[in-house]
Amino acid sequence: MPTISRKALTMPESPIRKLVPFAEKAKAAGKEVYHLNIGQPDIETPKVALDAIRNMDRTVIEYSHSAGFQSYRDNLAAYYRKTGINVDADDIIITTGGSEALTFGFMSTCDPDDEVIIPEPFYANYNGFAVAAGLKVVPVTANINDGFALPPVEEFEKKITSKTKAIVICNPGNPTGYLYSREELEKLRDIVKKHDLFLFADEVYREFCYDGAVPFSVLNLEGIENNVIMIDSVSKRYSMCGARIGAIVSKNKEVMASALKFGQARLSPPTIDQIAAEAALKTPQSYFDEVVTEYVERRNIMVDGLNAIEGVFCPKPSGAFYCVAQFPVDSAERFCQWLLEDFEYKGATVMMAPASGFYSTKGNGEQEARIAYVLNKDSLKKAVKCLEEALKVYPGRTYC
């Protein structure tokens, strides 16, 4: 019998979805499951995007240009310029989600066995994208006790070798919700410039910053214009996760020409989804104002509620809609599975993503879980109560 590839064997499974079979069994047993494991917002997609699909007047669903529709790229560039990011349509390639954008970026800039440095914990699928591109992820560990701030520059310097090709960040961050300050980004700029590296920044949560925090794009870092590659997506901005539209954005013409060749190999991004994404650019600011207000309230319910539970610690994030909490348990993975298999409170339980899957360093995050506060406020309150009651009876509970 033929064997599968080494690449397939090393492709990691998703920590976000690995407990799905246990959740399905819990539901089959009649339990209500509060899904805090996945970043699928329940926020309504803007009506203007839905109307564009409903009112589509086409007789053929044709290919688009491999870089995406010109009109969409023009309008997307105008959107960026309104946010203070000075790019034009030629700096943008539309992709099938942010995932493809990062994969194209990796394959355009790195050779097999090259290394990319990523502060951990990080979005777990970065591992998968790296495996697909034949790269090695080198982690630099951030600390929950300081809210997952950027690790010291010295820690990055220690990891740089002749094989290092890039640094990758997510800002605001998934899974932590941490928002890097301009000063932190300027420290990364100096490292990138010193060692002539690429800097990838996943900025898909740009609209979701709280408590007066203002995001600063890597595209506005001076002196490394040809080193910077920004990754974007409509998934979270407009609550359009099923519309697989992202973008790779860079001033580096050689990178963009290379990314376009990968885009040509997959033909084109989805036509109907681009129609919806282009229409979504007309979403009024009032939509985002309401969504941000809602997420702040949800964040406060979740994070304040967790910190009120004895033994639980959860730093309050400044962006995105995730947090990472540390639990007084022997193993967060066992705890998460136990919640689904053996626990219920008033007919309900909670599903979380064990945070160890968001770390590349073995042994890190063993008592942590990522939580997506994407449910309505009443459900979040009930989920917090479930966790409080669960910790009272969990057999692997630890005490200081």
CATH number, domain containing residue 361: 3.90.1150.10
Give the 3-state secondary structure of residue 168. Answer: strand
Q: 13 in a domain, yes or no?
A: yes
pLDDT on residue 400: 63
Q: 400 in a domain, yes or no?
A: no
Q: 176: domain range? A: 47-280
| CA gap 170, 178 in Å, rounded | 9
Q: Which regions of the chain are under pLDDT 50? A: none
Radius of gyration of the chain (CA): 21
Q: 72 in a domain, yes or no?
A: yes
Note whether 159 and 170 are same-domain residues.
Answer: yes
Domain end point (choices 246, 280, 314): 280
Q: 398 in a domain, yes or no?
A: no
Note whether 346 and 385 are same-domain residues.
Answer: yes
pLDDT on residue 13: 76
Q: 188 in a domain, yes or no?
A: yes
Domain end point (choices 224, 247, 280): 280
Note whether 379 and 248 are same-domain residues.
Answer: no
Note whether 264 and 336 are same-domain residues.
Answer: no
Note whether 127 and 142 are same-domain residues.
Answer: yes
Residue 236 corresponds to which tokens in the numbers above?
């979270």
Note whether 222 and 331 are same-domain residues.
Answer: no
DSSP secondary structure letters along 221-239: -TT-TTTEEEEEESTTTTT
Residue 39 corresponds to which tokens in the numbers above?
């970043």
| CA gap 360, 139 in Å, rounded | 6
Note whether 199 and 154 are same-domain residues.
Answer: yes
Q: 399 in a domain, yes or no?
A: no
pTM confidence score: 0.94
Note whether 229 and 90 are same-domain residues.
Answer: yes
Note whether 117 and 188 are same-domain residues.
Answer: yes
Maximum Cα interatomic distance, the chain, rounded to a whole number of Å? 67
Domain end point (choices 280, 310, 336): 280
Q: 3-state SS of the chain: helix, strand, coil percent to 5?
A: 40, 15, 45
**In terms of DSSP bridges, do strands 322-326 and 198-202 run parallel, antiparallel, or are they unpaired?**
unpaired
Note whether 124 and 226 are same-domain residues.
Answer: yes
CA nearest neighbour of 322 among 380, 373, 383, 367? 373
* Number of domains making up the chain: 2
Note whether 301 and 275 are same-domain residues.
Answer: no
At 288, which amino acid appears?
A: F
pLDDT on residue 299: 97
| CA gap 59, 387 in Å, rounded | 52
Note whether 238 and 136 are same-domain residues.
Answer: yes
CA nearest neighbour of 137 among 110, 174, 157? 110
